[in-house]
Structure 1
Amino acid sequence: MGRLLAAFATHLRAERNRSEHTVRAYCSDVRDLLTTMVPAAGDGALDLGVLGLADLRAWQTAAAADHHRSTLARRAAAVRTFTAWAHRTGRLAQDPGLRLQAPKRSRDLPRVLARSQVQAALEPAVAARDDEAADPTALRDGALLELLYATGCRVAEVVGLDLGDVDPGHRQVRVLGKGDRQRVVPFGEPALRALQAWLERGRPLLAGPASGDAVFLGRRGGRIDQRQVRTVVNRAVEAVPGAPHTSPHGLRHAAATHMLDGRADLRSVQELLGHATLSTTQIYTHVSVERLRSSHRQAHPRA
């Protein structure tokens, strides 16, 4: 199984151009499938030929009660990708995953921070930026928060930024998004000032041999990881009374929704977020309409 999964992972990286996060998730799903549905021989070899559509459906059904609909959809996608690859490479005589269906992903509207809540969450960032004696991590955290909200970028895109990707003169960053698609994203004056404070007064104090060209660094000088950024965002938002629990992706939701509330066109928001299709961006129009309905219900005498 180890060799089989290693070959599948290589296929995902080299031929499908999947991210490491997707590779880990797909391999974990396939490992679970094989462990559950494909008995190993005495020498540890796997006979994939016993795997049929009924087995795939049984595996999905067994997990239905314990997983969210989006997880079930991912598991189905992982298995379909695996069986198609196994069939193409001669490991399966037929592809049983062709007819495997998955539940549609739920389109629940995300809870979005109000503008006043975002502003309150960013107040410590502004204070650190204007404090000449601020701790370098406070400058870094402020720049992270400002940039995440200003650009609507994914946390992986911000973590992956190198110094050469930042263009202060034009107030824009070049990020590498899903599918290795590059895009240039603008940001405003507050994010610029926070970034400059971090790069000029904070980053040099944390930089070391492991820093390379990374824009954002951890306490030990290496590139900051996504878990640290989530901690930064959680801490900032939890300090705001009444604010919903959120993550770096929550700031992305807020940026998109607030732009649409400000009458930005949907196509521009799609470009900003790096969505491959406009339909993905359209959920934010639903968020804006729902907020309008909520205000109408509260304020209109005949709502």
Structure 2
Amino acid sequence: MTVQRAVQAYLDHLMVERGLSRNTLASYRRDLDRYQATLAAAGVGDLAAVRPADVAAHLAGLREGDADHPPLSTASAARAVSAVRGLHRFALREGLTPDDPSREVRPPAPPKRLPKALGVDQVERLLGTAAGDDPLGLRDRALLEFLYGTGARISEAVGAAVDDLDLGAEHPAAVLHGKGGRTRLVPVGRYAKAALEAYLVRARPALAAGGRGTPAVFLNARGGPLSRQSAWTILHRAAGAAGLPTDGPHAVSPHTLRHSYATHLLDGGADVRVVQELLGHASVTTTQVYTLVTVDRLREVYATAHPRAR
């Protein structure tokens, strides 16, 4: 079957059987029209004659651009290649071709996005919003201080038990139960310790009285363990009160304080291997993304402070 007829059959399938919208179909058509042009320029008119090298050459052309098309971003090129892969999967499934030449051609991976980190002043503003003296206010302050003071994941915070805290020691610490059943011991700073002690003495007993007994550190208003969603809501409310973004790409999320914890440690001179242990990363490669954040910060400082930077 010719490439043109196969493309039209695939688009008909997407419209009738998959029920895709008109705009989505138009996007598929644009991507596949460009693919047809690439194949035609290579002298390929039959879909069964397409080779993996033809698909790879098309992907390379998308990234490089030409006289009529600017280079596509990683995300746009990945979308275009997905349309091509869908066409070939459809053709193989329908018996139009004997194999799928796009199977081994992977869409380009998006670049690793840098974690969003708050500035120290923003963190202080965020923590300062939880200043209530009632049980829930004390709990919220303890939770936020705990997240930033230990770098805990939100699941590790709500999963912490009272016995996991050792606040009376010379060096206060907490045991966090991380991914894959791994546990780690992390220091608890002075502010987090004070907030936790205030909550455990003055608030948690009152909250626990309404429940059935649970070892969880952080409790909800009914005395049960605080859920991840409730913890997210507490952070979301605090971010709004602090004037920080609560929606969009820069919205403060449960992971934001963890990102900020790591970034501020590295900014303060901590070794990346130490930060790896504190975060509970199995590989230092995962932690090294934070070093890119601090390099950007160094560039900013250099650009504004050095007399010959500009």
In 2, distance between residues paired with 1:251 and 1:149? Answer: 5
Quote the Cα distance in structure 2 between the aligned partners of 1:100 and 1:265: 39
CA displacement at 1:106 relative to structure 2: 3.2
Secondary structure at the residue paired with 1:175?
Answer: strand
- CA drift of 1:245 comes to 2.2
Partner of 2:47 in structure 1?
A: none
Deviations 1:68-91 (A, max 9, x none): 97xx9xxxxxxxxxxxxxxxxxxx
Q: How does 1:109-128 map to 2 (within 5 A)?
A: 109-125=114-130, 127-128=131-132
Q: Higher mean Cα deviation, 207-216 or 237-246?
A: 237-246
1:274 CA displacement: 0.2
Residue number in structure 2 paired with 1:25: none
After superposition, the Cα gap between the structure-2 partners of 1:178 and 1:239, relative to the gap in structure 1 and judged at 3 Å, is: same
Provide the rounded CA distance (Å) in 1 between the counterparts of 2:225 and 2:105.
40
Which amino acid counterpart does residue 236 of structure 1 have in structure 2? A
The verdict on how the C-alpha distance between 1:299 and 1:241 changes in structure 2, with shifts beyond 3 A counting, is farther
Give the structure 1 partner of residue 276 of structure 2. 270
Q: Which amino acid aligns with 1:219?
A: A
* Equivalent of 2:260 in 254, 258, 269: 254
Q: Which residue of 1 aligns with 2:160?
A: 161
Work out whether residues 244 and 251 of structure 2, in 8 Å CA contact, stay in contact via their aligned partners in 1. Answer: no
Describe how 1:140-179 pairs up with structure 2 within 5 A.
Answer: 140-170=139-169, 171-179=172-180
The one-letter amino acid paired with 2:137 is: A
Structure 1 unaligned runs (5+)?
1-35, 37-67, 73-97, 129-133
RMSD: 2.8
Q: Distance in 1 between matches of 2:182 and 2:107?
A: 27
After superposition, give the CA deviation of every residue in 1:199-239 in whole Å (9 maximum; x if it has no partner): 11111111133341111011121111111111111222222
Question: How many residues are treated as equivalent by the alignment?
Answer: 208
Go from structure 1 to structure 2 and tell me whether the alpha carbon gap of 1:206 and 1:283 turns closer, same or farther (over 3 Å shift): same
Confirm or deny: 8 A CA contact 1:238 1:245 kept in the other structure.
no
Indicate the percent of aligned positions where both proteins have the same amino acid: 48
**TM-score, scaled relative to structure 2:** 0.61
> Which residue does the alignment assign to 1:231?
233
- Answer with 1 or 2: which has the greater Rg: 2
Partner Cα separation in structure 2 for residue 106 and residue 202 of structure 1: 45
Change (3 A) 1:296 1:99: same
CA distance in 2, matches of 1:257, 1:283: 10
Secondary structure of the residue aligned to 2:174 is strand
Tell me the equivalent position of 1:183. Answer: 184
Asked if the contact 1:211/1:223 (under 8 Å) is kept, the reply is: no
d(CA) in 1 for partners of 2:222, 2:128: 26
Q: What do the CA deviations read for 1:118-140 (whole angstroms, capped 9, x no partner)?
A: 11111234x44xxxxx1111000
CA displacement, residues 173-204 of structure 1 (integer Å, 9 cap, x when unaligned): 11110111011111111111100111111111
Q: 1:246-271 deviations in whole A, cap 9, x for unaligned?
A: 11200000000000000011111000
- Whether 1:222 and 2:227 are equivalent positions in the alignment is no
Correspondence for 1:48: none
Matched AA of 1:112: A
SS in 1 for 2:129: helix
Q: 1:286 aligns with which of 275, 282, 292?
A: 292
Q: Which of these residues, 107, 113, 127, is aligned with residue 108 of structure 1? A: 113
Distance 1:215 1:242, change over 3 A: closer
Give secondary structure in 2 for the equivalent of 1:184: strand
Distance 1:190 1:179, change over 3 A: same
List gaps (5 residues or longer) in structure 2.
1-17, 19-73, 79-102
